[in-house]
Amino acid sequence: MKFTEFNFDSGLLEGIEAANYIKTTPIQELVIPHILNGKDVMAFAQTGTGKTAAFLLPLINNVLTKKAGTGIKCMIIVPTRELAVQISQHLEGLSYFTPISSIAVYGGGDGNDFIQEKNALIKNAEFVVCTPGKMMAHIKMGYVNLDGLQYLVLDEADRMLDMGFYNDIMFIIGKLPQKRQTLLFSATMAPKIKTLAHKILHQPIEVSLSLSKPPEKLCSRHLWFMTSKKYRSSFIC
Ligand code: AMP
């Protein structure tokens, strides 16, 4: 499927072109329409499938095109600083030709990092990509305006639970507006993920994509996949 079929903002399409994405990957084709339709989504997909752009693209488009008040619009919670940096760079690349603002918030930095993050949060960066513990620390300081938040993504949710972030995640979610769109991405379908999903998602669309082989570098070969609807196809770059 071509990205032009989604009626994306022209600046976003420029970013997609600059990233040299010609066609959607299977996970993108499956979840982007649901996210654009405002549905909560629970997606089971591994790294290497293009899952990051599968949620970034429709969310960037929504933030660009839907009128909303001030404040942080979208929070993406991830398990590690490495993933926070990676997603943040991905976001900056795809939104390069748009006025979207973003900040990565993660542990392990020094006092300067904390002040930089605090300033971006006070100025209401539209996208925040964060690890749970550090985000919780900022929220507890009282200057983070979450009243206008519309989109929440939990990426690699299974890993976050394995790392013991359940309470931190639930603390953060407790501070968010109840009326929001929530997306949960996980590599596995562990029962604890389903329990978490049941608590925080509203009538989610479930998408499952399992590769027949472990993911390697995307675009280097065929990726065979199977969805929950027993739909089988191939993707060739
Ligand atoms: P991810 O699964 O999100 O970690 O993405 C794996 C890699 O696939 C990243 O390097 C992305 O830039 C790349 N990628 C994502 N979507 C596409 C696409 N539609 N076409 C080509 N490469 C893509």
The string of pLDDT tens digits covering residues 118-133 is: 999 998 899 999 999 9
What is the atom index within ligand 1 of the atom nearest the CA of 47? 2
Q: What is the reported pLDDT for 210?
A: 67
pLDDT in tens, 67-84: 777 789 999 999 999 999
Q: Whose CA is nearest to atom 15 of ligand 1?
A: 50
Encode pLDDT of 188-211 as tens digits. 988 999 899 999 999 999 998 865
List pocket residues of ligand 1, CB cut-off 6 Å: 21, 24-25, 28, 47-53, 218-219, 237
Q: Which residue owns the Cα nearest ligand 1 atom 13?
A: 50
Cβ atoms within 10 A of the Cβ of 197, count? 20
Cα distances (Å, whole numbers) of residue 85 to 49, 103, 107, 138, 231: 18, 10, 11, 18, 34
- Residue 75's pLDDT is 98
CA–CA separation, 40 vs 17, rounded Å?
Answer: 27
Q: Determine the residue type at 134.
A: K
- Pocket test residue of 25, 27, 96, 221 for ligand 1, highest count of atoms within 8 A of CB: 25
User: CATH says 3-227 is which class?
Assistant: alpha beta
The rounded distance, in Å, linking the Cα atoms of 27 and 54 is 7
Q: Where are the domains of the chain?
A: 3-227
- Quick one: what percent of the chain has pLDDT higher than 90? 79
Over residues 211-237, the pLDDT tens digits come to 544 344 444 333 333 333 222 222 322
**Per-residue pLDDT reduced to its tens digit, 158-191:** 999 999 999 999 999 999 999 999 999 999 988 9
Mean pLDDT of the chain: 88
Q: What mean pLDDT is predicted for residues 91-111?
A: 93
Query: What pLDDT score does 212 carry?
Result: 40
| Residue from 218, 221, 225, 236 to probe ligand 1 pocket by mutation (most atoms less than 8 Å from CB) | 218
- The closest residue, in CA terms, to atom 16 on ligand 1 is 50
What lies within 8 Å, CB to CB, of 216 at 6+ separation is 48
Say if residue 234 is exposed, middle or buried (CB neighbours under 10 Å; 0-12, 13-18, 19+).
Answer: exposed
Q: Is 26:223 a contact under the CB 8 Å cutoff?
A: yes
**233 compared with 66, residue with greater pLDDT:** 66
User: CA 12, CA 146: separation in Å to the nearest integer?
Assistant: 25
| Closest atom of ligand 1 to CA, residue 51 | 3
Atom number in ligand 1 closest to CA 90: 12
